[in-house]
Chains A and B, each alone.
Chain A
Amino acid sequence: MSHKCLRCGKLYENDDPQVIKGCTCGSIFFLFIKDKSEMEKFQEIERNLKLNRTSLEMELEKEFIKAANEENSFGVETIKNPIDGVYEINLEALLNKQPLVILKNGRTYMIHLPSVFEKVKERD
């Protein structure tokens, strides 16, 4: 017979005055645990929740990495200028003489024509 704080998880015995005053963490909400079997059931639920949370976190992390990789990938542009003062440079493309194309704010492409013509000349 105990009370478990719903915020911090601290356990209090039935006769603990803190149950009336509220938990030391400030919460006044407790889960009443009747007996040992209920305690075990509760612990199992907690374990499952933790597992689910971990897999959700992993999923989120995967999504984050995917998004970050997409952010680093380049399309036709050789330089990205997502915000003023930040530049992402596709070194490999520029070293391979790809034309200078700047993607500004993720929506406007600026094409440096001389470098495009240079590339065309090279192909001919």
Chain B
Amino acid sequence: MIDVLIIGSGGAGLSAALAAKEAGASVLVVGKMYPTNSQTAMAQGGMNAALGNVEEDHVSLHIADTIKSAHGLCDEDTVRHMCADAPQTIAWLERIGVPFSRIDIGAADDNAEALSSEVSPLHTIAQRKMGGASAKRACYAQDYTGLKLLHTLYDTCLKEGIAFLDEHFLLELIVPDDTAKGAVVLDIRSGEVKQIDAKSVIIATGGYGGIYHGYTTNMYGASGDGIAAVLRAGGAVSDMEFVQFHPTGLKHSAILMSESARGEGGYLVNSKQERFVDELKPRDEVARAIFEQLQKQEEVFLDLRHLGEEKLMTLLPQEVALCKLHEGVDPVSELVPIKPVTHYTMGGIDVDYALEVNGIKGCFAVGECANAKVHGANRLGGNSLLEITAFGRFAGENAYKHAVYASSKPANSNVLHACQKKIERLFTQEAPIDFYTHRKALGKRFYENVGIVRTEAGLTQALEEVVATQIALKKMGIRDRSKTNNQNLVEFLEFENALMLAPTIISAALARKESRGAHCRSDYPQSDDTHFKKHIVLQWKDKQ
């Protein structure tokens, strides 16, 4: 029986795997794609650590900025833990070879060679300023920080001989007596349903932004599979109502236009070609201003024309290419249609200070799928890569500690049989209602009613529709009957998970009759600390 089973092979899962292995654990990493396909690769900006390489900085400032951005909803001890761990996490990443961008601190010195032998390796790591930070704190690797971090973690996993099970989809956790004993997974290639026994389990499956289908920078598969599995197994979720929107996604494809487009002087204009907001305000404020325009039936555009072709091609070549490819417009001479889009989900699996899931012993959760209460009501840019690596390692260590004393008696095969039956049923069941249509409709309804600005009436309507869709789900299913490599089946299972999480987001948003951070209620525009400076935790009373 393996010690630590890790479900999810992005940056959090790989960091956990390396730490658990280093501690002495036998490790297996299971993912529905290949490790380097994960969403970690999409992170551009950087990873926060108060190294103070470029300007004065201190861990206490990093802590203060994070707490401020969380709008009173974070666990300050956990924030302190993460921020204090940041420099040593960067040191670890430096040792495994992450190709950070660098600064030249010996440039002015004739004796640069001698100097560089005295300088700490960490002190030449370049740092940039991100929104909401009081100093240049984000370590980066050009605009590919997540990509390069992820690939270096993967290379290191191959070095350490970490075992992978790629293209396996999590169906259920095995949790007899409130203690995790493994998981049941679907081998996407063969169609076989398998049980994996383990002494402890780490969930690192990513966020639930995929619910906003068509209105998110996330991949289609960001369906909160691990969060849904934890709920079904009796664990808790919290802060589900907090969803971060990025102001500038391309209108038709929801592809991200980097914040640097505004940073370099781009304007936001409406159909009348009027500017309506200070473009450099924080993400949530700009997103709300754009949303107001859209509500007034205005179209909103990113206007880069005044920057000129030369400047655009030098500063924003990737953005220019993306506009042409996905929107068919040339930003040199045309307006770029945009809309704010779902970018990151703060809520998730409710975990304690050791990252153990509230309600399931021996089960840990880390990364975007988890709510470690470091982001609170709004995540600070540069803190998510930090969370997945620093806490990824922490989860790996803690999971191994649990495994050392855990029983090695495998669970019975009840969950396995239930999952096998479920999958078999899907293959025989008729599917008169098309789930792709409903996936699209759910995304639109969420964007409009559970999005940037929310109201009691809008949320209630969304909840009613979700309940109706859940009833209709019985008539949905797969139309591809192939046992092997069935993408239709995987997408249906993802839709089921997203649909299961939908009411948790809406009901928490309904219950939170205030505005705080990313959660904006136009019918309750003020924050209400007396009643709502607390987490909304949801758990199923009866396990399914």
- Whether A associates with B in a native complex is no
